[in-house]
């Protein structure tokens, strides 16, 4: 008889442990944002740029001569080069701050929002 009581007691303990363990690792949306990176929300809402935009330099990736040595050589051959800032003159926001607005307008036309801040 003691065998049956021990077996029932063990089964009960295992059932209780299983109930508590089943809650571990569950998706807890009621826990608030304590463990969420504050930048995740903004990143999740940012448009998918799919490599179209160079976040570092604030221009379309396909023409970013600061990221591509081949493009840099092409711009230099065309005579479009700012020697002082080592980038195409047509992309030099230091000499021509108005260019930043030109490229931002291209981004806005494509994605419907302002571009992310340049990291350079």
Tell me, yes or no, whether 73 lies in a domain: yes
Range(s) of the domain holding residue 113: 52-120
Tell me, yes or no, whether 40 lies in a domain: no
Whether residue 32 has pLDDT greater than 60: no
Tell me, yes or no, whether 59 lies in a domain: yes
Tell me, yes or no, whether 105 lies in a domain: yes
pLDDT of residue 28: 39
pLDDT of residue 51: 84
**Percent of the residues in the chain that have a pLDDT greater than 90, as a whole number:** 56
pLDDT of residue 114: 95
Tell me, yes or no, whether 34 lies in a domain: no
Give me the number of domains the chain comprises.
Answer: 1
Distance between CA 67 and CA 27 in Å, rounded? 40
User: For the segment 43-76, what is each residue's pLDDT rounded down to a tens digit?
Assistant: 445 556 668 999 999 999 999 999 999 999 999 9
Tell me, yes or no, whether 41 lies in a domain: no
- 72-80, long-range: CB < 8 A, 24+ apart: none
């Amino acid at each position: 008889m003691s065998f049956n009581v021990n077996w029932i007691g063990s089964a009960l303990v295992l059932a209780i442990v299983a109930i508590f363990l089943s809650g571990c690792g569950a998706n807890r949306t009621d826990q608030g944002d304590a463990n969420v990176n504050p930048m995740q929300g903004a990143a999740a809402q940012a448009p998918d740029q799919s490599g179209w935009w160079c976040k570092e330099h604030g221009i379309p990736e396909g023409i970013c001569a600061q990221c591509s040595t081949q493009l840099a050589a092409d711009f230099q051959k065309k005579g479009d080069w700012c020697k002082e800032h080592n980038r195409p003159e047509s992309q030099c926001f230091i000499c021509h701050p108005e260019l930043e607005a030109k490229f931002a307008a291209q981004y806005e036309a494509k994605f419907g929002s302002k571009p992310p801040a340049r990291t350079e």
